[in-house]
């Protein structure tokens, strides 16, 4: 009887493990073929025409996302869940751009006076009709399940000011490495994060989502504390990092570039 119970437990664990594997290969193929990498990965540009030419592949992938039930999702390990949600956000954002491409200059062109494009409910995911805001702020951030501010360097808003759209799909198996790379690439981009004229000029992402960067990840309970974790990536000397930690280094949020991150 004990052996039988042990065998049943192993079967259940195996089923859960296999249930955690979602096939992101179609999205991965699109990213590898239609996202051009510049400056060693700090910047990427999306070939939206190429994405449109391969709309069938994207549509098929999005269809597979919608088939996942909440019950299936909830038994996956956190890393697989988060990779799924990040990929879903990025893929649905590309799909939103394609609804009007090439007749737009910015994702903001898809909104209106009364509703931003991020509040449009236009896709099904985990059993509900959702918006991009719902996906990001409720499923990813609002759940408090993941508590990883590096997601802000992974989800992409189809804009030049946004962290680069990675040219490969996120995977639960390699998620921590991928998020670390995304953070390092963004913070090392001197067009968006730099020390200049005695002040640290950083992306407005850190202003909009400040609470996430102060949520205790790796002990960081202040924005300065989070930034100090990346002092080398930001190009700060030890003295400058100490000044930042002590609140003696001026921090300024730079304007965000909302132009489309497409190939020129």
Q: What is the pLDDT of residues 109-122, one digit of tens each?
A: 998 877 899 999 99
Res. 16: pLDDT tops 50: no
Res. 33: pLDDT tops 60: yes
Q: Are 31 and 94 in contact (CB under 8 A)?
A: no
Which pTM was predicted? Answer: 0.92
Q: What is the pLDDT of residue 5?
A: 34
Residues 57-78 as b/e (b if ≥16 CB within 10 A, e otherwise) read: bbeebbeebeebeeeebeebee
Q: What is the pLDDT of residues 159-210, one digit of tens each?
A: 999 999 999 999 999 999 999 999 999 999 999 999 999 999 999 999 999 9
- Confidence class for position 6, pLDDT limits 50, 70, 90: very low
Q: What is the pLDDT of residues 87-100, one digit of tens each?
A: 999 999 999 999 99
């Amino acid at each position: 009887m004990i052996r039988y119970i042990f065998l049943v437990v192993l079967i259940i664990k195996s089923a859960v493990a296999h249930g955690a594997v979602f096939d992101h290969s179609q999205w991965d193929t699109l990213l590898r073929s239609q996202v051009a990498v510049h400056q060693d990965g700090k910047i990427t540009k999306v070939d939206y025409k190429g994405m449109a030419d391969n709309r069938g592949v994207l549509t098929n992938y999005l269809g597979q996302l919608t088939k996942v039930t909440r019950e299936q999702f909830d038994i996956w390990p956190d890393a697989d869940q988060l990779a799924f949600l990040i990929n879903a956000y990025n893929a649905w954002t590309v799909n939103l751009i394609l609804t009007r491409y090439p007749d737009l200059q910015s994702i903001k062109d898809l909104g209106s006076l009364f509703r931003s494009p991020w509040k449009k409910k236009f896709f099904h995911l985990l059993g509900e009709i959702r918006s991009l805001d719902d996906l990001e702020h409720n499923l990813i951030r609002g759940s408090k399940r993941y508590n990883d501010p590096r997601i802000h360097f992974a989800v992409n808003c189809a804009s030049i000011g946004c962290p680069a759209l990675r040219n490969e799909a996120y995977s639960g198996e390699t998620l921590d490495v991928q998020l670390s790379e995304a953070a390092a690439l963004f913070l090392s981009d001197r067009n968006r994060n730099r020390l200049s004229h005695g002040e640290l000029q950083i992306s407005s992402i850190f202003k909009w989502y400040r609470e996430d960067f102060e949520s205790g990840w790796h002990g960081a309970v202040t924005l300065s504390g989070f930034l100090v974790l990346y002092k080398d990536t930001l190009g700060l000397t030890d003295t400058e990092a100490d000044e930042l930690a002590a609140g003696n280094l001026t921090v300024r949020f730079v304007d965000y570039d909302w132009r489309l991150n497409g190939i020129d």
